[in-house]
């Protein structure tokens, strides 16, 4: 048999279990510790790089803000603004424009050239590194027209142009970003000029170059929304579209992240689902006019795990050494524990042979000794329970005998009532005879425990007997009517469900001192259900109490049998649910015409047999 060598020896079994119980958690601890260490190192690396990237983003924001302020110079230069507003074109205005463009070009060191177009003068002006050119231009140069509603933008990295101004000497084309701003007559939206400032990317390259370590495989990109590289680790690819497999997903995640609510210092960081092997991407968005450029840093897994590998190796060596020591200790403990267990096994064998009074005794105070003592106590308890079972069986026999004796009393009562009725007839009192017969009929019906279910017609007859007795008691203060549909008369219901509800009328809706009561009972069948309506002309109950009572009747637990003043209703509801299923129910209505009192409606599933 498989593993017989384990099952035949408790010592072997204990050794294996202890080794598994200790070894599995320790191996799991090694795995979890290494995993958590890797996660901690990764989180710490992400946190440090996030702070570094945030600082780079802040520096770029400040730099772009300075370009933004420079583009507003025409509004603060009154002479230039008036020249654009009037559209003047002469030698004096050309000199004024030259001075203004020169001042703007010197504002930021990296400005390569400044282009200005005046639609009223139909002229274009270009200033670049001390050279000033002007040419007639009916419309502004290509690339300087912005969509309607956009007042400022920064074009991604591209090669500079002469903006259609071909006057000598020609300018050397260089990679630049371009700040474009349309100029309007304040406060109207009339266009009076277009300003374009070409800026070389030295500052951007310097800031971005400080954000990563190329020798560790890290990469930093500054991307426009369409994936154009403003900055990247490969200088030859700057100004081109980034064709990496993760570009589209990263830009989509960046746009989604930017649309979510977050703190001002929050940084996006995640693994991309389509490129999980590319490492961690940390990104932030930078406002570039109406566009949002994405500053992203890619950290490969090799850089993340470089520190982790050294830490996890130390953890693994320490834990494996601990596992070896614990295994040796486990073997010693198993041998020490099994010795008293073998003694206990001998006692159990004696008890198995029938010696229930065996004295189990081990001179040990540890758990094995406690087990032996508790085992001895258990055997004493078992002996006591056996004796108790004999006593219980004897008590049950006595109770059965008393139950048989109690069955004599109902027969005595029936015979006594019959004798009293016969005496009433002999004495010429037939009304008394009828009342006694009604009472006997009720008692026989109530005490007949052999029939658990009766048809509705039987239950109605019992209720009619009860009403006849009450009418003799209250004379003309009580009137009643009973209508039974033949289709519903044969439906089986539990005994004693209608009469207790009628009895409630006299408890809660009738004042014997001066009031009159009318009781209406209707039995009919509708929608596959037998319905029994018991209504009275009493005062009814309030809507709040009606709702509370109805909710209590929906429960069939023990608490529902203790509704204050309505034990009969609760008992009927509980027995209907128990015997007729969940479809059986009780509904209460108050103030319904024609009687205006309380109406109780029983819903019983129609069936020929219980």
Nearest to 473 by CA among 503, 443, 508, 428: 503
CATH number at residue 515: 3.30.565.10
User: Are 493 and 601 in the same domain?
Assistant: yes
Burial of 445 (0-12, 13-18, 19+ CB in 10 A): buried
Does residue 243 sit in the same domain as residue 267?
yes
Query: Could you tell me if 184 and 228 lie in one domain?
Result: no
CATH number assigned to the domain comprising residue 122:
3.30.450.20
Residue 29: inside a domain: no
Are 145 and 174 in the same domain?
yes
Look at residues 302, 331, 346 and tell me which one is the last residue of a structural domain: 302
Query: Please, are residues 604 and 542 in contact by the beta-carbon 8 Å criterion?
Result: no
Both structure tokens of 19? 């080794």
Same domain, 241 and 278: yes
Determine the pLDDT at residue 299. 86
CA distance 369 to 41: 50
Cα dist. 305→50, 273, 524 in Å? 18, 20, 82
Residue pair 271/282 in contact by the 8 Å Cβ criterion: no
**pLDDT at residue 496, rounded to an integer:** 82
User: What is the layout of strands, in order, in the sheet containing 123-128?
Assistant: 131-136, 123-128, 111-118, 191-199, 175-184, 153-159
Answer whether 162's CB lies under 8 Å from 137's CB.
Answer: no
Q: Same domain for 543 and 592?
A: yes
Angstrom CA distances, 344 to 18, 135, 370, 505, stand at 21, 113, 11, 72
Contacts of 524 (CB under 8 A, 6+ apart): 483, 485, 487, 488, 530, 531
Dist. CA 606–CA 610, nearest whole Å: 10
Instruction: Name residue 480's beta-bridge partners.
Output: 519
> Cβ(285)–Cβ(293) under 8 Å?
yes
Q: Are residues 577 and 552 in the same domain?
A: yes
Question: Is 165 within a domain?
Answer: yes
Low-confidence residues of the chain: pLDDT under 50: 1, 392, 395-396, 399-408, 558, 560-564, 608
How far apart are the C-alpha atoms of 606 and 530, rounded to whole Å?
5
Same-domain status, 233 and 150:
no
What pLDDT sits at residue 609?
53
Q: Within this chain, do residues 141 and 208 fall inside the same structural domain, yes or no? A: no
The per-residue pLDDT for 426 is: 65
Helices 567-580, 543-553: crossing angle, 10 deg rounding: 40
pLDDT at 378: 80
Is 295 within a domain? yes
Task: Please check whether residues 162 and 235 belong to one and the same domain.
Answer: no
Task: Kindly give, in sequence order, each residue whose CB lies less than 8 Å from that of residue 584, ignoring residues fewer than 6 positions away.
Answer: 576, 577, 602, 603, 604, 605
Tell which residue, 200, 198, 163, 194, has the closest CA to residue 181: 194
Residue 113 maps to a domain: yes
Query: Per the domain annotation, does 265 fall within a domain?
Result: yes
Among residues 200, 229, 251, which one ends one of the domains? 200
Decide if 360 is inside a domain.
no
SS3 for 437-476 is HHHHHHHHHHHCCCCCEEEHHHHHHHHHHHHHHHHHHHHH
Structural domain includes residue 362: no
d(CA 163, CA 159): 12
Q: Are 586 and 504 in contact (CB under 8 A)?
A: no
Residue 466, domain member (yes or no) = no
The CATH number of residue 242's host domain is 3.30.450
Give the C-alpha separation, 547 to 559, whole Å.
17
Shared-domain flag, residues 135 and 172? yes
Tell me the residue ranges of DSSP E strands in 105-174.
111-118, 123-128, 131-136, 153-159
At residue 514, the pLDDT reads 67
pLDDT for position 401: 47
Q: Are residues 123 and 109 in the same domain?
A: yes
Q: What is the pLDDT of residue 232?
A: 92
**CA gap 540, 524 in Å, rounded:** 23
CA–CA dist 281, 219 (Å, integer):
10
Contact 492, 607 (CB under 8 A): yes
Domain of residue 134, residue span: 72-200
Nearest to 301 by CA among 284, 281, 286: 281
pLDDT digits (tens, 9 = 90+) for 494-541: 888 888 888 888 888 777 766 788 889 999 988 888 899 999 888 888
Domain count, the chain: 3
Alpha helices (runs of H) in 428-566, residue ranges in sequence order: 430-447, 456-474, 486-489, 499-508, 543-553
Using the 3D structure, point to which of 137, 172, 200 is the last residue of a domain.
Answer: 200
């Amino acid at each position: 048999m498989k593993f017989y060598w384990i099952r035949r020896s408790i010592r072997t079994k204990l050794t294996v279990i202890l080794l598994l119980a200790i070894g599995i958690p320790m191996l799991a601890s090694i795995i979890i510790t290494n995993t958590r260490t890797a996660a901690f190192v990764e989180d710490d690396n992400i946190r440090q790089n996030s702070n570094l990237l945030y600082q780079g983003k802040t520096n770029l924001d400040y730099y772009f803000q300075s370009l933004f302020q420079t583009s507003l110079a025409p509004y603060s230069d009154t002479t230039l603004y008036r020249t654009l507003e009037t559209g003047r074109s002469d030698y004096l205005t050309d000199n004024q424009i030259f001075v203004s463009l020169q001042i703007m070009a010197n504002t930021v060191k990296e400005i390569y050239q400044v282009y200005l177009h005046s639609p009223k003068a139909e002229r274009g002006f270009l200033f670049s590194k001390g050279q000033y050119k002007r040419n007639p231009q009916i419309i502004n140069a290509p690339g300087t027209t912005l969509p309607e509603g956009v007042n400022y933008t920064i074009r991604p990295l591209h090669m500079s142009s002469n903006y259609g101004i071909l006057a000598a000497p020609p300018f050397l084309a260089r990679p630049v970003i371009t700040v474009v701003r349309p100029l309007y007559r304040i406060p109207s939206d009339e266009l009076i000029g277009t300003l374009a400032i070409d800026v070389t990317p030295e500052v951007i390259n310097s800031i971005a170059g400080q954000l990563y370590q190329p020798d560790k495989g890290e990469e930093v990109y500054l991307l426009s929304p369409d994936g154009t590289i403003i900055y990247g680790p490969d200088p030859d690819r700057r100004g081109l579209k980034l064709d990496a497999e993760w570009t589209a997903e990263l830009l989509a995640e960046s746009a989604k992240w930017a649309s979510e609510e977050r703190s001002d210092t929050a940084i996006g960081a995640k693994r991309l689902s389509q490129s999980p092997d590319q490492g961690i991407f940390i990104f932030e968005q930078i406002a570039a006019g109406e566009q949002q450029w994405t500053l992203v840093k890619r950290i490969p897994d090799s850089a993340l795990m470089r520190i982790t590998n050294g830490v996890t190796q130390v953890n693994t060596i320490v834990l494996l050494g601990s596992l070896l020591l614990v295994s040796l200790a486990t073997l010693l403990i198993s041998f020490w524990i099994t010795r008293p267990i073998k003694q206990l096994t001998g006692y159990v064998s004696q008890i198995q042979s029938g010696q229930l009074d065996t004295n189990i005794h081990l001179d040990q105070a540890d758990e094995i000794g406690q087990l032996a003592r508790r085992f001895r106590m258990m055997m004493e308890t078992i002996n006591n329970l056996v004796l108790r079972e004999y006593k219980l069986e004897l008590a049950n026999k006595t109770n059965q005998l008393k139950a048989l004796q109690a069955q004599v009393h109902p027969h005595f009562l029936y015979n006594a009532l019959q004798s009293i009725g016969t005496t009433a007839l002999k004495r010429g009192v037939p009304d008394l005879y009828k009342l006694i017969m009604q009472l006997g009929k009720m008692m026989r019906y109530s005490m007949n425990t052999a029939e658990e279910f009766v048809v509705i017609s039987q239950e109605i007859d019992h209720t009619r007997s009860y009403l006849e007795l009450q009418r003799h008691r209250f004379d003309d203060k009580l009137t009643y009517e009973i209508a039974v549909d033949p289709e519903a008369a044969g439906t089986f219901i539990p005994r004693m469900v209608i009469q207790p509800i009628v009895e409630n009328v006299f408890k809660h809706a009738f004042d014997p001192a001066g009031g009159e009561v009318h009781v209406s009972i209707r039995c009919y069948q509708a929608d596959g259900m037998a319905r029994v309506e018991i209504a009275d002309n009493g005062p009814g109950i309030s809507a709040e109490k009606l709702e509370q009572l109805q909710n209590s009747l929906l429960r069939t637990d023990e608490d529902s049998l203790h509704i204050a003043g309505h034990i009969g209703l609760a008992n009927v509801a509980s027995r209907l649910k128990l015997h007729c299923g969940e479809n059986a129910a009780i509904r209460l209505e108050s103030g319904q015409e024609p009687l205006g009192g309380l109406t109780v409606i029983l819903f019983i599933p129609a069936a020929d047999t219980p």
